[in-house]
Structure 1
Amino acid sequence: MANELEALARRHLVRLQRHTPTRQLLAMLCLAGLLILGGYFLYQSLPRQYTLRIAGSEVVSNRHYLMHILQEEVLPAGVRLHIASASDTNDTMARLSRGELDLALMQDADAERYPNIRHIATLPTEVLHVLARPPIKQLSELRNRQINLEPRGSEWREHAVQALEFAGLHSGRDYLEANLDEEALMVLPGNVLPDAVVIASFIPSALVEFLIREHGYTLLELPFPASAPHHLDWGQASQIPAFAYGAEPATPPRNLLTVGSSLHLVGHDHIDARATRILLHTLYGPALTARLHLPFEEKRLTDSAGYPLAAGVEDFIKRNHPLISKENYDKFKSLGGMLFSLASALLVALKWFRGEPVIEEE
């Protein structure tokens, strides 16, 4: 049966070859296909312009400053970063998963609830700064005081509540919670500011420095275990280095224990892989590190909070892999075999379109 089908196919091909108009039409269609394919590959290689919307943060926050610098650095590479207004964390993640936003900065992940979100990069750790007015010198003295946390709905507000509970201070029972945003803390007169302020930020923080310098706040220690309990798995033991906020007087005078949390850049899964690579080249490049004075560590790039890696991340990681390797050798070997087979097929096709005999008629 197979031999009969092969013989039938041979006869039809010979008849088609002898019919010059049909053969010429097929040749033109093949040529048009090759031109379209070549045009596609050329189009893919051309420089692109991307416009990405990233969920914004408070204007005076370190996150907003990071976004602003990133916005400037990626523009020459073809990415326009638009900082969009955003409210609480859950709303931001929902908008990102629906594709209303392209990028966001976050700490926690919920891949089941937001299936369209992908991990792009892990950024420097944010730490909790606990500031208090003199004469308060330790956490236990914050009982029956007013403590300002992040605005309700933010990830860090929930984390701060949990960290204070771990230290023995419960919201509503041991202290009165306030939720002023960072801009309000910058403009309110000193006599109405709370007894203590808990701020999550990179080190150094402009707001922390302002409260210390202008209103006399001091930094308190917030001990956190090296191995976090399950309900505090978002956190990691961190330190605020001595002299981080001044040498005279020394602020703080020694390394202060506190809790930190990794910050992640995440995006919607529709983001083009090339745009992702541009973001990564910028984030882990020397220019951004020099401007922000923050440790962007590429070795932590894939430390995802729980979302799958975005398209383009693995290509970025492999960019520094050696050209001569067993994996690349096998790829080149396969590519060589494919090119040889393709060249042979093209030669046979060329002879067929010229009308030269390539198939013996049975």
Structure 2
Amino acid sequence: MGEVSRRVEQVRALTRSPHIVLAAMLGMLLVTGLMLWLALRSPEVTLRVSAGSELGRRHEIAEVLQQLARERGLRLELVPTAGSAASLERVAGRSLDVALVQGGLPAGSAIREVAPLALEPMHLLVREPAILRLEDLRGRSVDLSTPGSGTRELALELLELVHLRPERDFEEATLSYDQLMNKPAAELPDAIFHVSSLPSPVAEHLLRHRGYRLLPLPYARAMHMRDVAVREGVIPAYGYGASPPHPSADLPTIATRMLIVARDDVDDDAIRRLLEIVSSEVLARRAELSPIGAAELAEPELPLHDGARAWLARNDPLVTPEIIDNVESLRSFLVSAVIALILLWRWWRARQMKGFDLYLRGVTKLEREVLQLELEADLDLPRLLTIQRRLGELKNEALEGYAEGKISSADLLNSFLAHVTDVRAYLNALVLHERERLEKKARRDPEHEDAIRRELWLGAVRGHEEEEES
């Protein structure tokens, strides 16, 4: 017992020390802050991402995105593919989570758009001076890019305008970016289709080191009539050099949007963090892109990912015109409902009063008769007794109706009984007054007082009975 007391005293001494109390409070604040930080800290998420070939412009952008994603708890694993069509297949097949792809391509039902990144103009690079128009590709060797690429799909769609088909009208080549960059000029085809945002490292290499030039493709409006994903694009003058100029003037071409897509079951929070990077000026500056705006995000080619919808709505006001309209509609409904309830209550009240109105009218009528009798020279005792009996009958009938459930309002019953009590008290006072008058009359003959009083009372009762019979 002494040991326990000693320990308790030591604890008390510690609590009396301001330094120890302060240290304990700081420790508690530190633990609370750590727990709060752990609760609010977003866990690291790993996403498997493809941007097509490692030598393409999309892959350059993906590498910048990968660097910035680390700061927001996102780990992006870059996986090369043959092109956009192949990337879309792998996202749908769950071997990829996210992809940077060319817009306008068929996508599976589970594919959702996250954001557009940039316009990707079509580059048509040719070497022969005789090739001046798209139709001049007939009989030539033409690279449409590798199977599974979006470039090939868009090139075939474009060539259909001039009725050119591979193998029938020209010799098709399917060269990868690596082959385009490393093959000698003599082994390259006469024309090369290439879709990329600006500036394209592949196009720049072919223009500067392999003797190619750019051919205009003024077919955007015509193709947009058939494919809304195709837009008007421009490769600006001197975009790939001024000496020699590539091109010497703004070059019209067709273009599609580079899209970030994801599978529909990818975590919404991961998509939100990805969009914070995509919309930042840091990505635009490092990847040499124009920052995207809310208007571009609000016009998706594919169904938007739920995370993208939530990110777009992040700055929406709590009270919107739609909410105001809904509140106004609710207010109108509530007002109508209140009016309906008031009318219903009044109907119910009237129905409750329907059983009582007969009784109330009966008591009121008897009260008027009593008042009328009081004004006469002589009180009519038989009539007063008759009114008294009828008042009791009305009260009994009302109580029986309440007991049988015909009258369900206890408040109305109490009001009725209070009215009956008032009339009965008034009536009893008059009867008592008349009885005292009869007793005074009987006391005039002391020898026969009892007999006279009895006779007078019986006469009044007989008069009451005769009135009842009549």
User: What TM-score results when the alignment is normalised by the length of structure 1?
Assistant: 0.72
Matching residue of 2:12: none
1:146-225 equivalence runs, <5 A: 146-225=141-220
Partners of 1:317 and 1:232 lie apart in 2 by 26
Alignment of 1:295-334 (within 5 A): 295-298=290-293, 299-306=295-302, 308-321=303-316
Unmatched segments (≥5 aa) in structure 1: 1-39, 331-362
Q: d(CA) in 2 for partners of 1:131 and 1:109?
A: 23
CA distance in structure 1 between the partners assigned to 2:192 and 2:53 by the alignment? 16
Tell me the alpha carbon deviations over residues 38-66 of structure 1, each in whole angstroms, 9 at most, x when there is no partner. Answer: xx998763321010001241111001111
Does 1:136 find its partner at 2:127? no
- Among candidates 244, 253, 260, match of residue 249 of structure 1: 244
Kindly state the Cα deviation for residue 166 of structure 1 after the two structures are TM-superposed.
Answer: 1.3
Counterpart AA for 1:261: T
How far does residue 309 in structure 1 lie from its aligned partner after superposition? Answer: 1.7
CA contact (8 A) 1:109 1:305 kept: no
Partner of 2:377: none
Partners of 1:262 and 1:130 in 2: CA distance: 17
Alignment pair present for 1:125 and 2:119: yes
Q: Percent identity?
A: 32
CA distance in 2, matches of 1:44, 1:328: 32
What pairs up with 1:1-362 in 2 under 5 angstroms? 45-87=40-82, 89-106=84-101, 107-108=103-104, 110=106, 114-139=108-133, 140-226=135-221, 228=223, 230-298=225-293, 299-306=295-302, 308-321=303-316
More off after superposition, 83-92 vs 266-275 = 83-92
Taking the aligned partners of 1:195 and 1:321, their CA distance within structure 2 comes to 53
Calculate the TM-score normalised by the size of structure 2: 0.57
How many residues matched? Answer: 289
Contact 2:48 2:98 in 1 (8 A): yes
Match of 1:301, as an amino acid?
L
CA distance in 2, matches of 1:315, 1:44: 21
1:227-261 CA-to-partner distances (Å, cap 9, x unmatched) read 53554343122111111111222211111111111
Name which of structure 1's ranges 133-142 and 75-84 shifts more when overlaid on structure 2.
133-142
Contact in 1 for aligned 2:54/2:80 (Cα 8 Å): no
Structure 2 CA distance for aligned equivalents of residues 43 and 270 of structure 1: 25
Deviates more, 1:94-103 or 1:190-199: 94-103
Cα distance in structure 1, aligned partners of 2:184 and 2:288? 31
CA deviations on 1:167-215 (whole Å, 9 max, x unpaired) are 4533223321101011101101111111111111001111111111111
CA contact (8 A) 2:177 2:202 kept: yes
Could you tell me whether the CA contact under 8 Å between 2:115 and 2:259 is conserved in 1? yes
Question: Within 2, Cα distance between the matches of 1:95 and 1:210?
Answer: 30
Q: CA deviation at 1:103?
A: 0.5
Q: If you compute each CA radius of gyration, which structure gives the higher value, 1 or 2?
A: 2
Residue 232 of structure 2 aligns with an amino acid whose one-letter code is A
Q: Does the aligned pair in 2 maintain the 1:148–1:177 contact within 8 Å? A: yes
Equivalent-residue separation in structure 1 for 2:227 and 2:166 (angstroms): 17
1:119 offset after TM fit, Å?
1.4
**Aligned partners of 1:285 and 1:184: how far apart in 2?**
34
Q: Which structure 2 segments of 5+ residues have no match?
A: 1-34, 326-470
Paired residue type of 1:212: L
The code of the aligned residue for 2:297 comes to L
For 1:340, the equivalent position in structure 2 comes to none
| Greater strand content | 1
Deviation, 1:314, is 2.4
Distance 2:282 2:244 in 1: 32
SS of the residue 1:165 aligns to? helix
Alpha-carbon distance in 2 for matches of 1:158, 1:260 = 13
User: Pairwise CA RMSD of aligned residues?
Assistant: 2.7
Question: How far apart are 1:91 and its partner, in Å?
Answer: 4.7
